[in-house]
């Protein structure tokens, strides 16, 4: 499918790019094409909305040139040197910019559809809009762990104030480009910054150089630190859903830390 032609852009040879766990990604000259053989309805438009929301918030992302149900045409950002301090500055600015209330538009984490919603109670909003959909999807694999997940979110969670989140901020969604770092593949919603911080500490996490710079700009209270394992439950449920029971031990560890 020729997305460049649909977008009214010149054609270029396609070069496969690495990454793209949930889609096929190609470079085409100054553009990046994202495709999926069977995208769920609204998948690519949701990604485009998320990129534009981050851009409007002052975060560098690839420009969206065209979006349709069948794919996405983005700006190609040539690779550049790692600059964790610049990333720390960008994320501290994002996480300091307060919003009114917790809210989410219908969207996706990976290809999993997530509901929209809004609320003033952070714990209830996060559980119902983000954790519960994955809990229901993975319940057959979880067994007795499902009740432990429910109990974990019966207690209050610390609040600093609603901010726009990237929503899936693992190392693979950071692209160090010429001119500074950019963020990719968002799953954005307005919530507590601890959700982003929790994902940034999973699966190897960001390096110490990032955390030194980030915490110098925006220190992390102990109450928020203690809650990170609770937020990681959300992402580990997603990994159980996508990749299977191999992630159950990590989920058990996060549950144990969350309720301790």
For residue range 4-23, what is the model confidence (pLDDT) as tens digits? 988 899 999 999 997 656 78
Query: Do 61 and 163 sit in the same domain of this protein?
Result: no
Please give the mean pLDDT across all residues of the chain.
96
| φ and ψ of 239, to 5 deg | -70, -35
pTM: 0.95
Q: How many domains does the chain have?
A: 2
pLDDT for 19 equals: 65
Query: Do 56 and 103 sit in the same domain of this protein?
Result: no
Q: ∠ CA(21), CA(130), CA(90), 5° rounding?
A: 65
Confidence of residue 198 (pLDDT cuts 50, 70, 90): very high
pLDDT for 20 equals: 58
User: What are the tens digits of pLDDT across the range 57-114?
Assistant: 999 999 999 999 999 999 999 999 999 999 999 999 999 999 999 999 999 999 999 9
User: What are the tens digits of pLDDT across the range 10-64?
Assistant: 999 999 997 656 789 999 999 999 998 889 999 999 999 999 999 999 999 999 9
pLDDT for 158 equals: 97
pLDDT for 248 equals: 98
Print the domain residue range for 162.
84-259
Res 1 pLDDT > 60 = no
Query: Do 65 and 100 sit in the same domain of this protein?
Result: no
Query: Do 69 and 95 sit in the same domain of this protein?
Result: no
pLDDT for 21 equals: 63
Among 30, 49, 75, where does a domain finish? 75
Domain holding 148: CATH number?
Answer: 3.90.1200.10
Query: Do 133 and 25 sit in the same domain of this protein?
Result: no
pLDDT for 6 equals: 87
Active-site pick, 2, 21, 83, 168: 168
Query: Do 95 and 187 sit in the same domain of this protein?
Result: yes
Is 121 tagged catalytic? no
Res 150 pLDDT > 90 = yes
Query: Do 51 and 103 sit in the same domain of this protein?
Result: no
Domain holding 65: CATH number?
Answer: 3.30.200.20
pLDDT for 37 equals: 86
Among 50, 75, 100, where does a domain finish? 75
Query: Do 25 and 144 sit in the same domain of this protein?
Result: no
Query: Do 113 and 186 sit in the same domain of this protein?
Result: yes
> Mean pLDDT across the stretch 119-127?
97
pLDDT for 260 equals: 82
Query: Do 119 and 64 sit in the same domain of this protein?
Result: no
Res 187 pLDDT > 80 = yes
User: What are the tens digits of pLDDT across the range 241-250?
Assistant: 999 999 999 9
Query: Do 54 and 120 sit in the same domain of this protein?
Result: no
Query: Do 43 and 93 sit in the same domain of this protein?
Result: no
């Amino acid at each position: 499918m020729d997305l460049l032609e649909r977008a009214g852009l010149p054609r270029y040879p396609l070069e496969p790019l690495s990454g793209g766990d949930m889609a096929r990604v190609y470079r085409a000259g100054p553009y990046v094409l994202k495709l999926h053989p069977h995208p769920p309805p609204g998948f690519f438009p949701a990604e485009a909305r998320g990129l534009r929301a981050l851009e409007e918030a002052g975060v560098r992302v690839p420009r969206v040139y065209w979006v349709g149900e069948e794919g996405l045409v983005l700006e190609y950002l040539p690779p550049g040197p790692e600059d964790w301090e610049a990333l720390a500055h960008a994320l501290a600015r994002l996480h300091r910019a307060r919003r009114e209330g917790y809210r989410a538009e219908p969207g996706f984490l990976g290809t999993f559809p997530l509901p929209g919603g809004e609320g003033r109670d952070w714990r209830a909003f996060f559980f119902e809009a983000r954790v519960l959909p994955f809990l229901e999807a993975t319940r057959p694999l979880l067994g007795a762990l499902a009740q432990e997940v429910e109990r974990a979110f019966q207690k209050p969670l610390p609040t600093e104030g609603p901010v726009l989140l990237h929503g899936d901020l693992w190392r693979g969604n950071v692209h160090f480009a010429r001119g500074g770092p950019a963020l990719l593949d968002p799953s954005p919603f307005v919530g507590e910054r601890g959700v982003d911080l929790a994902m940034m500490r999973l699966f190897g996490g960001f390096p110490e150089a990032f955390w030194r710079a980030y915490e110098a700009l925006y220190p992390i209270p102990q109450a928020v630190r203690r809650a990170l394992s609770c937020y990681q439950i959300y992402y580990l449920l997603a990994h159980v859903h996508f990749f299977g029971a191999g992630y159950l031990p990590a989920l058990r560890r996060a549950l144990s830390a969350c309720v301790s």
